[in-house]
Structure 1
Amino acid sequence: MPVIEARGVTKRYESRSETVEALADVDLAIEPGEFVAVMGPSGSGKSTLLNVLGLLDVPTEGDVYLDGEPTVRLSDRERTRARKRTIGFVFQNFYLIPTLTALENVEVPRLLDRDPRMEERAADLLRRVGLGDRLNYRPDELSGGQRQRVAIARALVNDPRLVLADEPTGNLDRETGRSVLTQFEDVCEQGVAVVAVTHDDQVIDYTDRVVNIVDGRIQ
């Protein structure tokens, strides 16, 4: 069973003067452990697709199935709960909290759970991405690649089955980008699906599949 699946998804944005169709009748299924790159020109609908798959936005038509269950009729609270349970996010600009250490940033998504083993788990995730010696470093004391790896560890802290990454290598040099992509490969080997929206051609070398999207349609 796909971990996430879009069926006939169309997304329109309305304004006073026009209607913009960002996605048009998109069908896409992502299997557990699969690494998929979504590529296309600027304005093609890549980010909208990522937001819809991440349950951050609701389709105008069609539905998104998470572990086989439809989500379009879920309430905001139910979508939030589903995201926390199943989906991790990695953003191009990292969005780390500058006053917190790497360890504390990874712990943030679980702070309200009062998990006594949270610190141990966060430290283990940072060690897995090669930052075991940077646990108490703040973001401004880390390189771009190290900050991105903190973001990956944070995305994994809730044991997601799907990780969505928006331009994960966009702010990195090629060597550091390759290191981050290797981390995603390792994540997929653990059965976690990864979907990366990207303009970076080197991502293709690491993925199982490339999905091209133009004018809101999968080619």
Structure 2
Amino acid sequence: MKSLAAQVGGKVVEKWYREARDRSRREFFDCVMRTVLVTRGGSVSNDLNEAVMIRAIVEEPMTIDSDSAVYEWFLESMQQRRSSFLLDVAADMKNYDERADKLDVNPLLLEVASHWVDCHCPMWLMSRKAILKAAKAFAPGNTGWSEESLKRVLRDAKLSGSAKRPIEDVVIKNGEIAGFYVNADVISGTKPTLVLFNPKGASKTLRYFIVPKASEKRESVVRVGRRGKT
């Protein structure tokens, strides 16, 4: 965003970001409400974050093992609410198993909307090619997603983004997002740059390297540390 601001002006970039954030929030909220209503049989959690977490567990129980945020929330909730929490999760899972075929939420839209302004994977700054690769990395089971299906999602949801899309591609390593290829015209400099970031709720600082790739006229942004791992 700082690099874009240097080119087109800070107020312009901030306007793009606000529009992208507000539109993605509306789409994500609609998706969550649809999924929660179906899962809970008409009863909606008062805590939207809890609704998202429970939904993740109900849909794919192994999320507890693969997602540190879900794992920490699950243990904390179980410690605080004990059996009442487990009974709520069990009831949600039963309702989901019985009514899963009635879901009307586009899973690709859900992934895109939830990560549209994600600071670790800002889809609002990405090309369509990069968005599709990132979405598939977040949901590896959805192999049927295509450029055409993404085009329909972006068209119907009318998600706002940057007029310039500097992130041209996504680097996938071991099934996860490891970094990004960024248009060299956006980020100046010829030497690798270390970027430090402290995400809310994370125990460790995440590190990103911005590595110039002059031969391809691009910059490679590679994540070398992530939450809970070195």
Q: TM-score, normalised by structure 1?
A: 0.28
Bigger fraction of residues in strand:
1
Bigger fraction of residues in helix:
2
Higher Cα Rg: structure 1 or 2? 2
